[in-house]
Amino acid sequence: MQYAPLGRTGMTVSRYALGTMMFGSVGNTDHDECVKIVHTALEAGINFVDTADMYSTGESERIVGKALRGRREAVILATKGHFGLEEGLNRSGNSRRHLLNAVNASLRRLGTDWIDLYQVHRPDWSTDLEETLGVLTDLVREGKIRAFGCSTFPAHELVESHRVAETRGLMRFRTEQPPYNLLARGIERDVLPVAERWGMGVLTWSPLGFGFLTGHHRTGAAASARARLRPAWFDPENPQVARKLAVAEELAQVADDLGRPLPALATAFPLAHRAVTSVITGVRTLEQLRATLEHVDLVLDDAVLDRLDAIVPPGTDVYDPQSPMPLPWLTDPALRRRTAPTG
């Protein structure tokens, strides 16, 4: 296992991080197996565990807390807050009110006195960055979190956050957690250069492209279990899906030539970028973790990266990884149109 500095936080993390989104009701409901997954990862040298309060509505955090009993000091523990775990006003977002409640609730579920890296899970366009950075700065000074970062922020918001921190005397976002894979390279245009310029750690998620880089979805192959569960996502009659399948075929050939499975190639790819600190591998089963650990030695050389660039050019998105969370000024016409004068 290799390690890297987590931005300028002074913490050192494994280049493969264990993601726990699939722990609990949305994935693996066997708590004992999930605990074993965490322990196996730690024994393999992974020291970085990432979760979020909204994963299985807090169940993932409770499982992680159980798994880290007696092992907490050896682990860099990250979690996230932003989404509401229940309906109601003021129960989501990046306000002082919500984040104070969210951090305290995460500490209880995780069974720990501190969180090494707390991340706001998405931007909140209704809350001033000064408000968000202010409460996170206070939480560091109180000792409840050691550092804080953000997830899936556009480049302009990263720049603005550093400007606000500097002008208001607040602490900065130290990390960014964006989606990044061989089918979604858009962050190479701006997010990664901005993060590198500001010395931010970068923790990438979705290395397998929402399943298209697992090797289970091939042109002409029988539908996988995931495709049967969400047929619209994998419908080959959809031009975007057909494009993803065609590109995945080309990428699979590169993996075959390396003598490695496609998921190994896909997971190693983000780590080839100089701005990326760790890749988050969100496994559901112990078998999936062991398969990942078999290939942590894979380092892509220039010849392989040139082949990948030829298939998916740098900065290109074969699909839009942000589509589940569209920017409001693109979806709401009132935010981009001048009101026509009346009378």
Active site residues: 55
Could you tell me if 280 and 50 are in contact, meaning their C-beta atoms sit under 8 angstroms apart?
Answer: yes
Q: Please name the amino acid found at residue 299.
A: V
Distance of CA 89 to the CA centre of its chain: 27
- Strands 48-50 and 278-282: what pairing? unpaired
Closest by CA to 4, choosing from 20, 15, 17, 18, is 15
Could you tell me if 116 and 73 are in contact, meaning their C-beta atoms sit under 8 angstroms apart?
Answer: no
Q: How far apart are the C-alpha atoms of 178 and 320, rounded to whole Å?
A: 12
HSE of 171 in the Cβ direction (CA atoms, 13 Å)? Answer: 20
| Three-class SS state of 58 | helix
Task: Encode 111-132: b = buried (16+ Cβ within 10 Å), e = exposed.
Answer: ebebbbbbbbbbbbeebebebb
Q: How far apart are the C-alpha atoms of 268 and 248, rounded to whole Å?
A: 15
Angle between helices 286-293 and 31-43 (to 10 degrees): 10
Could you tell me if 86 and 71 are in contact, meaning their C-beta atoms sit under 8 angstroms apart?
Answer: no
Enumerate residues 6+ apart whose C-beta is below 8 A from 281. 16, 17, 18, 19, 207, 267, 289, 292
Could you tell me if 4 and 12 are in contact, meaning their C-beta atoms sit under 8 angstroms apart?
Answer: yes
Q: Kindly report the CA angle at 121 between 67 and 175, in degrees rounded to 5?
A: 85
Closest by CA to 186, choosing from 80, 323, 63, 61, is 323
